[in-house]
Amino acid sequence: MHSRAFSKELQAKIDKYKALRNPIKLGDVHFESPLILAPMAGICTPPFRLLMEDLGAGGTVSELISAHGINHGNQRTRDMLKIDEREENIGIQLFGEDPKAMADACEVVQRENPKFVDINMGCPVRKVVTKGGGSALMKEIEALAPLFSQMKKALDVPLSIKIRTGWDAEGINADKIEEVARNEGVEWVAIHGRTRAQQYTGSANWDYIEEFAKGATLPIIGNGDLHQPHHVASRLQDTNCSALMIARGCLRNPFIFLESLCFDPANPESPFKGKDYFEVIERYFQYCLEAYDRERTILIQARKLIVWFAAGFPNAAKFRSLMFQSQTLDESMKIAQDYFQGLGERGKFINYDEVFMNGGHG
């Protein structure tokens, strides 16, 4: 195994922020900080989760994984369950609708030693909801108690859920779901502050999230549109939530988990510079090499992340097109190295008004 060390200079910056983290417990699960990496399909693989833990995420969740795929022994699905032994506070997220199938899948998942298992109850994607999974679970409240209890019976580790505010504006029912979850021994509820009908449009309804968290008995993790360190920092200072989850924010700023811990409005510039990003990319690349055999898989995974990381740096558009023309890993890394190291001490200015990744599985 390679070491996880960055250069002394970058590690010192990271450590300075990491020292500001306050560990928390949600139910029985320990997190290094209340800022947790949210599940993202196609992104929250072991290399990315490891990287985000290195960069201060208090815990992580896998991408959504099909219970039916697991039970059918589908190799690609089974591969998605893998957890790197260096991962610390990792949960596996399952999607599905049938209590028995979900409970059977839990038994397989458990062999990988996750710290918790999470149910995807927020995915708005048609293919998932037409089968009754993802956010469709929020419509069938009476079906939830058997689902939760059968999964709990199969699990030795805690069970959590990730929901939306409701199916649509008329069907806001997170509070009712929290009640069922609490009665069935679910450990916490993560909530993305949009309805299923909203998909990714409009803004996350933080007024609702805060009211919901205030009235809830279970710990609540708030999520949605926390894309800038100063938003995360102010929400963290003044929230009824026990923790916050960040998804898209870390794709353009992988240091968001650290920077949000002590954002200084008088000095808003990020301490992390262009050349730091290259070290992060090298580390990610290394984790990918350890995790995957196929160069093509690594190229596809690494290239999209590298391009997101460039957002807000000078000449990012030109860099992006060069990256997408590259055919090999060596070539991609060379282009990334020239670009990010060439940025040296330059900082980035992300245009947060631009639409970014308006779709996902939760």
Ligand X SMILES: Cc1cc2nc3c(=O)[nH]c(=O)nc-3n(C[C@H](O)[C@H](O)[C@H](O)COP(=O)(O)O)c2cc1C
Residue 48 beta carbon to ligand X: minimum distance, rounded to whole angstroms:
12
Nearer to ligand X, 52 or 333 (CB): 52
Give CB contacts under 8 A, 24+ apart, made by 79-86. Answer: 80/45, 81/108, 81/109, 81/112, 82/46, 82/112, 82/291, 83/46, 83/112, 83/113, 83/114, 84/46, 84/49, 84/50, 84/287, 84/290, 84/291, 86/1, 86/4, 86/50
Nearer to ligand X, 191 or 298 (CB): 191
- Taken in order 155, 157, 162, 166, the sign of the CA dihedral is positive
Residue 106: active-site member: no
Nearer to ligand X, 273 or 361 (CB): 361
Residue 200 to residue 269: CA distance in whole angstroms: 28
Alpha-carbon distance values, 353 to 77, 208, 264, 320 (Å): 36, 23, 22, 20
- Which DSSP helix (H) or strand (E) runs through 45? none
Our CA dihedral for 38, 43, 45, 46, rounded to 10 degrees, sits at -80
Residue 30 to residue 27: CA distance in whole angstroms: 8
Binding-site ranges for ligand X (CB under 6 A):
38-41, 43, 63-64, 93, 120, 122, 162, 192, 223-226, 246-249, 357, 360-362
Residue 238 beta carbon to ligand X: minimum distance, rounded to whole angstroms:
18
Tokens of 127: 């293919």
Give the residue at shortest CB distance from ligand X: 362
Residue 314 beta carbon to ligand X: minimum distance, rounded to whole angstroms:
25
Is beta strand 35-37 parallel, antiparallel or unpaired with respect to 60-66? Answer: unpaired
CB contact set of 5 (below 8 Å; sequence gap of 6+): 11
Residue 161 beta carbon to ligand X: minimum distance, rounded to whole angstroms:
10
Nearer to ligand X, 37 or 343 (CB): 37
Please pick, among 44, 106, 123, 250, the residue that the annotation labels catalytic. 123
Residue 249 to residue 192: CA distance in whole angstroms: 14
Residue 54 beta carbon to ligand X: minimum distance, rounded to whole angstroms:
19
Nearer to ligand X, 39 or 47 (CB): 39
Helix (H, G, I), strand (E, B) or coil at 180: helix
Residue 93 beta carbon to ligand X: minimum distance, rounded to whole angstroms:
6
Nearer to ligand X, 69 or 362 (CB): 362
Q: Which residues are catalytic?
A: 123
